[in-house]
Chain A
Amino acid sequence: EAQVTQNPRYLITVTGKKLTVTCSQNMNHEYMSWYRQDPGLGLRQIYYSMNVEVTDKGDVPEGYKVSRKEKRNFPLILESPSPNQTSLYFCASSLFNSGGHLDTQYFGPGTRLTVL
Chain B
Amino acid sequence: GENVEQHPSTLSVQEGDSAVIKCTYSDSASNYFPWYKQELGKGPQLIIDIRSNVGEKKDQRIAVTLNKTAKHFSLHITETQPEDSAVYFCAASSARYSSASKIIFGSGTRLSIRP
64-116 of chain A: CB within 8 A of chain B: 90, 92, 96, 100-102, 104-110
* Chain B neighbourhood of A44, CB < 8 A: 105
Interface flag for A59 (CB, 8 Å): yes
Q: How far is B108's CA from A86's CA once the two chains are assembled, in angstroms?
A: 19
Residue total for B at the interface (Cβ-Cβ under 8 A): 31
Contact mask for chain A residues 14-37; partner B; CB cutoff 8 A; 1 contact, 0 none: 000000000000000011010100
Interface size of A in residues (CB-CB distance below 8 Å): 30
Classify the secondary structure of A's interface with B: strand
Q: B105's contact among A30, A42, A110, by CB below 8 Å, is which?
A: A42
Max chain B CB contacts within 10 Å: which of A42, A54, A59? A42
Instruction: Assess whether B107 is interfacial by the CB under 8 Å rule.
Output: yes
CB contacts (< 8 Å) of A4 on chain B: these are 43
**A residues 35-63 in Cβ contact with B at 8 Å:** 35, 40-45, 48, 50, 54, 56, 58-59
Asked if B93 and A90 sit within 8 Å, CB to CB, the answer is: no
Q: Which residues of chain A are near B95, meaning CB under 8 Å?
A: 31, 101-102
Contact in complex: A45, B32 (CB < 8 Å): no
In the complex, 14 of the A-B residue pairs with CB atoms within 8 angstroms, ordered by the A residue number, are A30-B97, A31-B95, A42-B107, A42-B108, A43-B108, A45-B105, A59-B1, A59-B102, A100-B98, A102-B101, A105-B103, A106-B46, A107-B43, A110-B41
Other than the known A54-B100, A58-B102, what 19 A-B pairs have Cβ atoms closer than 8 Å?
Answer: A4-B43, A31-B95, A40-B107, A42-B89, A42-B108, A43-B108, A45-B103, A45-B105, A48-B100, A48-B102, A50-B97, A100-B96, A101-B32, A101-B51, A102-B96, A104-B46, A107-B44, A107-B45, A109-B43
